[in-house]
Amino acid sequence: MSQQRHGNTPGNAGAVPAFPDLPEATIARLPEYLRALHNLAEAGSDTISSEGLAAAAGVNSAKLRKDLSHLGSYGTRGVGYDVTLLIDQIEYILGLDQRRAVALVGVGNLGHALAGYDGFASRGFRIVALFDADLEQVGKAINGLTVRHVGELRRAVVEDGITIGVISTPPSAAQGVADDLVAAGVTSILNFAPCVLSVPAGVDVRKVDLAIELQILSFHEHRKASLTALPGGLVGEGGNQEAVGS
Amino acid sequence: MSQQRHGNTPGNAGAVPAFPDLPEATIARLPEYLRALHNLAEAGSDTISSEGLAAAAGVNSAKLRKDLSHLGSYGTRGVGYDVTLLIDQIEYILGLDQRRAVALVGVGNLGHALAGYDGFASRGFRIVALFDADLEQVGKAINGLTVRHVGELRRAVVEDGITIGVISTPPSAAQGVADDLVAAGVTSILNFAPCVLSVPAGVDVRKVDLAIELQILSFHEHRKASLTALPGGLVGEGGNQEAVGS
DNA sequence: CGCGATTTGTGCACGCCTTCACAAGCGCCT
DNA sequence: AGGCGCTTGTGAAGGCGTGCACAAATCGCG
Ligand SMILES: NC(=O)c1ccc[n+]([C@@H]2O[C@H](COP(=O)([O-])OP(=O)(O)OC[C@H]3O[C@@H](n4cnc5c(N)ncnc54)[C@H](O)[C@@H]3O)[C@@H](O)[C@H]2O)c1
Ligand SMILES: NC(=O)c1ccc[n+]([C@@H]2O[C@H](COP(=O)([O-])OP(=O)(O)OC[C@H]3O[C@@H](n4cnc5c(N)ncnc54)[C@H](O)[C@@H]3O)[C@@H](O)[C@H]2O)c1
C-alpha cells in the first residue's frame, strides 16, 4: 500500500479519512469476517492468522488477505491480525459504530419474527419503529415497541433519524411502501417481498427471497439426481458453501 | 446451439435429457424470471419480449437473453418468448415440477413464520415436516403440521422423501442439526443461523443472514454519508437492485 | 546480533460474468 | 410475393473476482 496510516483507530473521530472504495464482493464478506472475529474474541483469542480467520469465515485465506488489505495494513507479518483492532476497523468501515436506526414495515407473520429478534441489536442495528396498515395490528406491542400506522412513517423517519427500512408486507403493497420510505428520507431498503422495487438513484435496495434460495437448491438437487443416473455414480464434487448476498 | 431440441416439453418424462450445465449466475436469476413470468401469465400475456421480461425481473435484457439461450432456443425472433412454454421450461430446469419435500428444523420465532408461510407452496415446495428439540414445542400444530422431535428426523426424511432441509435453530445447534440432516440423507440445506456449516462434498448449503444484509446496506449508508460531506454533493449513482444469493 | 520460521501483502494469470452491438430470423402488411 | 420492422441469439471485448505463488516483513531464539 502506498500510505502508511497506522494508529488510525476508529475512535479517531473528526475528519472522515479518504473513504476506500472496496470491491462489492469484499463488502459482502466483511460482515462474515466480523462475525467470526466476534466469536474469536469471545473465545479469548488476541490475534488470528489469515488462515485461521478464513477457516472460521468459510473462505479462502488468500481472498481474505486481499479483502483485508483493501482496508489498510492491519496485520503483522509472522503473527497475524489483532482481533480487537480488526473488529473496530471493520465495524467502522461498515458504519456499525453508529448503531443505525431501522424501521420495519409490515408486522405480519415474518415481520413479527424480525421485530422480536434480538440478534440485530448485537450486530449494530436498532429497530426503532414498527409500522402496519392494518388497524388490527396498530397499537400492539412487540418487544417493547408499539406498532404504528404507516401514516406516521414520514414523521418517525425524520424524528428518529431512520436511514434503513425493512419491508415485510405482501408484494402488492411493497412498491407503495418503498415509495413512502424514500419520500420520508430512507436511503436503504431491505425487501422481503418477492417483487422488484423501483427506486430513485441513490437509494440502495437489497432483496431477500427465501423461495429463490430454495429454488436454487432445487436446481442442484435436480442436477445431482440426473448425474447419479448417469455412469460415474455419485462423484461428490464439493459442497457449495455460498453466502447469500453478493 | 448445436442441437435442435424443440418439442421437448417437460411433460416428456422418461430419459433425462443431457443436463445443461448453466452458469451459476444464470441459475440464481432463473427464479426471478420465473416469478416475473407467473405475474405476466396471470395478467393475461401470451408472449413477452426479452426487453419486457427483463424489466419485470429487474435485469439487463441482453443478460436475460443470454441466460435463456443457455436453456435452448425458446423464443421467436420478431415476437418474443411464449410465456407458458418458458414457465414450463424454467420449472423443469429448476426441478420444481417435482414439488420437493422440505423439512424445517427449529420452530422458534423465525421457524414459526416460515412454517406458516403459504408462499412456498405456490413456488414448488411442500414443507412436509417440522422438528424441534424443545419438548415444549413438540406436538404443537402449525398450518396443519405437527411439530415432531428431532429424534424422528431420520425416519421422516426417508419416509417422506425429503431432500431439502431448512435450519432455523440458534447457531450453536446448527452444525449438529446439519450433521443429522446429512446423515438422514438430505443433500441440500438452507441455513438461517449465522454460522458456517461444514458438510461433506455433494451437499449444497445456502445461507441467509439477515444481519449481513443490513450490514451491507449500512456500509453503503456510510459511504453515501461520507460522499455528501465532500464536494460534489449528492450525485446519485444509481440505486443498486441486487438479488441476495449468488 | 543473526537466522530460521512464520505470516502478511500483492503481482499475475486465468476464468467468469456482463454488456454492447449486430447479423440472422420471423411475422405482418401491402 | 416481397419488403420492412421487430426481436432473438451470439461473437467479442472489457471488467471483475479468484487463487496461486512468492517476496517482504516480523518475531523468537540461540
Ligand atoms: N412468512 C414467511 O416466512 C415469508 C417467507 C418468505 C417471504 N415472505 C414474504 O414476506 C412478506 C410478508 O410475509 P408475511 O407472511 O409476514 O405476510 P403477512 O400477510 O402475514 O403480513 C403482511 C403484513 O403487512 C401488512 N401490510 C399490508 N399492506 C401494508 C401497507 N401498505 N403498509 C404497511 N403494512 C402493510 C399487513 O397488515 C400484514 O400485517 C410477503 O411479501 C411474503 O411474500 C414471507
Ligand atoms: N427471528 C429472526 O427474525 C431472525 C433473524 C435473523 C436470523 N435469525 C436466526 O435464525 C435462527 C432462529 O432464530 P429464532 O429467532 O427463531 O430463534 P428461537 O430461539 O426463537 O428459535 C430457535 C428454535 O430452535 C429450537 N432448537 C434449539 N436447538 C435445537 C436442536 N438442536 N434441534 C432442533 N431444534 C432446536 C429451539 O427449541 C427453538 O424453538 C437463529 O439462528 C437466529 O440467529 C432469526
CATH value at residue A185: 3.40.50.720
Please check whether residues B54 and B152 belong to one and the same domain: no
Q: What is the mean pLDDT of residues B128-134?
A: 98
User: In total, how many domains does chain A have?
Assistant: 2
- pLDDT reported for residue A82: 97
> Nearest-CA residue to the C1' of C24?
B77
Q: Is the pLDDT at B118 greater than 50, yes or no?
A: yes
The answer to the question of residue B16 being in a domain is: no
Please check whether residues B122 and B177 belong to one and the same domain: yes
Pairing of strands B80-82, B75-76: antiparallel
The answer to the question of residue A244 being in a domain is: no
* CA separation for the pair B234, B240 (Å, rounded): 16
Q: Which residue of B has its CA nearest to A24?
A: B216
Pairing of strands A141-142, A164-167: unpaired
Inter-residue contact B22 to B71 (CB < 8 Å): yes
Inter-residue contact A58 to B206 (CB < 8 Å): no
Please check whether residues B39 and B90 belong to one and the same domain: yes
What are the DSSP calls for chain A, one per residue? --S---S--TT--SSPP------HHHHHHHHHHHHHHHHHHHTT-SEE-HHHHHHHHTS-HHHHHHHHHHT---EETTTEEEHHHHHHHHHHHHTGGG-EEEEEE--SHHHHHHHT--TTGGGTEEEEEEEES-TTTTT-EETTEEEEEGGGHHHHHHHHT--EEEE-S-HHHHHHHHHHHHHHT--EEEE-SSS-----TT-EEEE--HHHHHHHHHHHHHHHHHHHTSTT--------EE-S--
* CA separation for the pair A172, A133 (Å, rounded): 13
* CA separation for the pair B30, B71 (Å, rounded): 10
- pLDDT reported for residue A241: 52
User: Tell me: the pLDDT tens digits for A10-54?
Assistant: 434 333 456 888 999 999 999 999 999 999 999 999 999 999 999
Q: What is the mean pLDDT of residues B157-178?
A: 98
- pLDDT reported for residue A92: 96
Q: Of all protein residues, whose CA lies closest to atom 39 belonging to ligand 1?
A: A108
- Which of B50-59, B63-72, B220-229 has the least mean pLDDT? B220-229
Q: What phi and psi values does residue B228 have, to the nearest 5 degrees?
A: -65, -20
Please check whether residues A114 and A197 belong to one and the same domain: yes
* CA separation for the pair A145, A112 (Å, rounded): 11
User: Tell me: the pLDDT tens digits for B186-202?
Assistant: 999 999 999 999 999 99
- pLDDT reported for residue B17: 55
Inter-residue contact B207 to B189 (CB < 8 Å): no
- Which of A223-227, B76-80, B227-231 has the least mean pLDDT? B227-231
Query: What's the pLDDT band for B29 if we cut at 50, 70, 90?
Result: very high
Size of interface A-B (CB pairs under 8 A): 278
- pLDDT reported for residue A102: 98
The answer to the question of residue B239 being in a domain is: no
Burial A121-139 (b: 16+ CB within 10 A, else e): eebbbebbbbbbbeeebbe
Query: What's the pLDDT band for B231 if we cut at 50, 70, 90?
Result: low
Please check whether residues A153 and A72 belong to one and the same domain: no
Q: Mean pLDDT in chain B?
A: 89
- pLDDT reported for residue A107: 98
Pocket test for ligand 1, best of A110, A180, A196 (most atoms within 8 A of CB): A110
The answer to the question of residue A13 being in a domain is: no
For residue A194, list chain B residues with Cβ-Cβ distance below 8 A.
Answer: 35, 119
- pLDDT reported for residue B175: 98
* CA separation for the pair A96, B216 (Å, rounded): 10
Q: Is the pLDDT at B92 greater than 50, yes or no?
A: yes
If DSSP codes are grouped into helix, strand and coil, which group holds residue B3?
coil
If DSSP codes are grouped into helix, strand and coil, which group holds residue B212?
helix
A85 dihedral zone (left: phi>0; alpha: psi -120 to 50; beta): alpha
Q: Which of A173, A213, A164 is nearest to A197 (CA)?
A: A173
Q: Is A238 annotated as a binding residue?
A: no
Q: Is the pLDDT at B119 greater than 70, yes or no?
A: yes
Q: Which of B90, B106, B112, B91 is nearest to B189 (CA)?
A: B106
Q: Which of A74, A100, A184, A208 is nearest to B113 (CA)?
A: A208
- pLDDT reported for residue B83: 98
Please check whether residues A161 and A150 belong to one and the same domain: yes
- pLDDT reported for residue B156: 97
Q: Is B106 annotated as a binding residue?
A: yes
Pocket test for ligand 2, best of B131, B149, B169 (most atoms within 8 A of CB): B169
Please check whether residues B172 and B188 belong to one and the same domain: yes
Last residue of a domain, one of A76, A96, A116: A96
Query: What's the pLDDT band for B230 if we cut at 50, 70, 90?
Result: low
- The reply to whether the CB atom of residue B60 sits less than 7 A from any atom in nucleic acid chain C is yes
Last residue of a domain, one of B79, B96, B113: B96
The answer to the question of residue B71 being in a domain is: yes
Describe the crossing of helices B83-94 and B24-42 by its angle, rounded to 10 degrees: 140
**Structural domain boundaries enclosing A85:** 24-96
Q: Which position has the higher pLDDT, B12 or B222?
A: B222
Query: What's the pLDDT band for B227 if we cut at 50, 70, 90?
Result: confident
Please check whether residues A88 and A104 belong to one and the same domain: no
The answer to the question of residue A227 being in a domain is: no
Please check whether residues B206 and B114 belong to one and the same domain: yes
Please check whether residues B183 and B110 belong to one and the same domain: yes
Q: Which of A48, A40, A46 is nearest to A81 (CA)?
A: A48
pTM of the predicted model, to two decimals? 0.91
For residue B191, list chain A residues with Cβ-Cβ distance below 8 A.
Answer: none
Please check whether residues A86 and A103 belong to one and the same domain: no
Q: What is the mean pLDDT of residues B144-158?
A: 97
Q: Which of B75, B74, B81 is nearest to B56 (CA)?
A: B81
Q: Which residues of chain A have pLDDT under 70?
A: 1-18, 229-246
Q: Which position has the higher pLDDT, B20 or B115?
A: B115
Q: Is the pLDDT at B240 greater than 90, yes or no?
A: no
Please check whether residues A92 and A110 belong to one and the same domain: no
Q: Which of B146, B94, B93, B168 is nearest to B125 (CA)?
A: B94
Q: Is the pLDDT at B78 greater than 70, yes or no?
A: yes
CATH number of the domain where residue A46 is located: 1.10.10.10
The answer to the question of residue B245 being in a domain is: no
If DSSP codes are grouped into helix, strand and coil, which group holds residue B243?
coil
- Chain A closest-CA separation from residue B79 CA (Å): 24
What are the DSSP calls for B137-202, one per residue? TTT-EETTEEEEEGGGHHHHHHHHT--EEEE-S-HHHHHHHHHHHHHHT--EEEE-SSS-----TT
- pLDDT reported for residue A230: 58
Q: Is the pLDDT at B235 greater than 50, yes or no?
A: no
CA of A173 relative to ligand 1 center, distance in Å: 9
The answer to the question of residue B201 being in a domain is: yes
